[in-house]
Copies of this chain bind each other. A is one copy, B any other.
């Protein structure tokens, strides 16, 4: 069979690792695909950078979009990044030219997934994105194929290694967010501008794609309101431990009668939940299906090797002739799902209040919660010193998020409450 001719756009760490993987594992790849994988052209800005292979081995384009027009390219790997600009241009032009596209670009698909899936289909091309979610963990394949017999009840995931590393290190060292972030930046685990990672945006991109696979819908990142981990304090990590809980930046997707639930925010999970054991730079995803029960997938969620592994897995699929629609169902069957209003969602909460130690304070707070139909599950009071500040930690039974938010607003206005209350959701499921 003729070789599959590949153009690689973007030769950062992932792009270079992809080229090396295809060259170094050529023999086993040819055995598994029955077809040679041949890199014919590459594109990057800096031609002279040392990437571990000679730049002149492949046709070189300054402008990645030229790959879309190269008749000797059957498949384009888009490893440039960014939801607009050259990446978007390249993917559109490549698909229009009937070339297959493998992309690691979650932002691109989270914003334009529906349109690009349609475009791929119209031109008989495959648009695949295993490397866009959870690095080398084959979770896209698991949802699209391995668990395809199931109605998916729930996806719960730790999808950003940088924030998971920061939370794990904060817990292990007792240091605060700013200090651990600075260290992570120094070590190269976090970007100079860490916003995508620590504000939950990158993880929300990924979650929106997993939900599209599970619930046959256009990605709804636009409607998400991700919350990140900047506000997490060592004191809350400590209290979580005392309560048998662990704080994670947790994504949740499920389908309810009120709409799609698609949430990314810090949450406290039970220490014995499998997801709690996903630590450091690792990613983990628990998928609950109506037949299979809960299956759990764990591995390195980023890095050159794991991401290149996923890029080449998609290439292998295409070389073997797999022709599945981007989100597992034909683009015309993708539904536009509304998100369930956050305020109607029911959950449990951890509250930390800094209050004046004075008789009646607890009664006042309890009354506010009661008035909003929020019932207290447990209470810890730390410190005991009349008229001095004391920390009050409350966990609640299940309550609507709107009620909880309104109750908190009232509590925040009480004169005995000394600083803005902290609220972190508790996910026991």
- Interface residues in chain A, defined as those with a beta carbon under 8 Å from any beta carbon in chain B: 17, 21, 25, 28-29, 31-34, 130, 135-138, 141-142, 145-151, 216, 274, 277, 289-300, 303, 305-306, 308-313, 315-317, 320-324, 328-330, 333
Q: Are the C-beta atoms of A324 and B320 separated by less than 8 Å?
A: yes
Q: Are the C-beta atoms of A291 and B32 separated by less than 8 Å?
A: no
Whether A298 touches B299, Cβ cut-off 8 Å, given contacts A28-B151, A147-B138, is: no
24 contacts between A and B (CB under 8 A): A21-B291, A25-B290, A32-B148, A32-B328, A135-B292, A136-B291, A137-B295, A141-B142, A141-B145, A142-B142, A145-B316, A148-B312, A149-B309, A149-B311, A274-B277, A292-B305, A292-B310, A295-B298, A295-B300, A296-B298, A297-B298, A320-B324, A321-B321, A321-B323
Q: Are the C-beta atoms of B306 and A293 separated by less than 8 Å?
A: yes
Q: Are the C-beta atoms of A296 and B293 separated by less than 8 Å?
A: no
CA A130 – CA B25 in complex, angstroms?
Answer: 26
For A142, A148, A308, the residue with the greatest tally of chain B CB atoms inside 10 Å of its CB is A148
Q: Which A-B residue pairs are the 5 nearest by beta carbons?
A: A138-B146, A149-B312, A136-B292, A295-B299, A292-B309
- Report B-chain residues with C-beta under 8 Å of the C-beta of A33: 148
Q: How far is the CB of A280 from chain B (nearest CB, A)?
A: 12
CA A34 – CA B330 in complex, angstroms?
Answer: 8
When C-beta atoms are compared, the residue in chain B nearest to A317 turns out to be B145
- Report B-chain residues with C-beta under 8 Å of the C-beta of A216: 31-32
Q: How many copies does the complex hold?
A: 2
Whether A141 touches B146, Cβ cut-off 8 Å, given contacts A136-B291, A299-B295, is: yes
Q: Are the C-beta atoms of A149 and B297 separated by less than 8 Å?
A: no
CA A311 – CA B28 in complex, angstroms?
Answer: 28
When C-beta atoms are compared, the residue in chain B nearest to A333 turns out to be B31
- Report B-chain residues with C-beta under 8 Å of the C-beta of A308: 149, 291
Q: How far is the CB of A243 from chain B (nearest CB, A)?
A: 21
- Report B-chain residues with C-beta under 8 Å of the C-beta of A31: 216, 329, 333
- Report B-chain residues with C-beta under 8 Å of the C-beta of A32: 148, 216, 328-329
When C-beta atoms are compared, the residue in chain B nearest to A31 turns out to be B329
- Report B-chain residues with C-beta under 8 Å of the C-beta of A297: 295-298
CA A323 – CA B321 in complex, angstroms?
Answer: 8
Q: How far is the CB of A142 from chain B (nearest CB, A)?
A: 5
Q: Are the C-beta atoms of B305 and A300 separated by less than 8 Å?
A: no
Q: Are the C-beta atoms of A25 and B151 separated by less than 8 Å?
A: yes
- Report B-chain residues with C-beta under 8 Å of the C-beta of A29: 148-149
- Report B-chain residues with C-beta under 8 Å of the C-beta of A324: 320
Q: Are the C-beta atoms of A292 and B300 separated by less than 8 Å?
A: yes
Q: How far is the CB of A128 from chain B (nearest CB, A)?
A: 12
Q: Are the C-beta atoms of B142 and A146 separated by less than 8 Å?
A: yes
- Report B-chain residues with C-beta under 8 Å of the C-beta of A329: 31-32
CA A135 – CA B295 in complex, angstroms?
Answer: 10
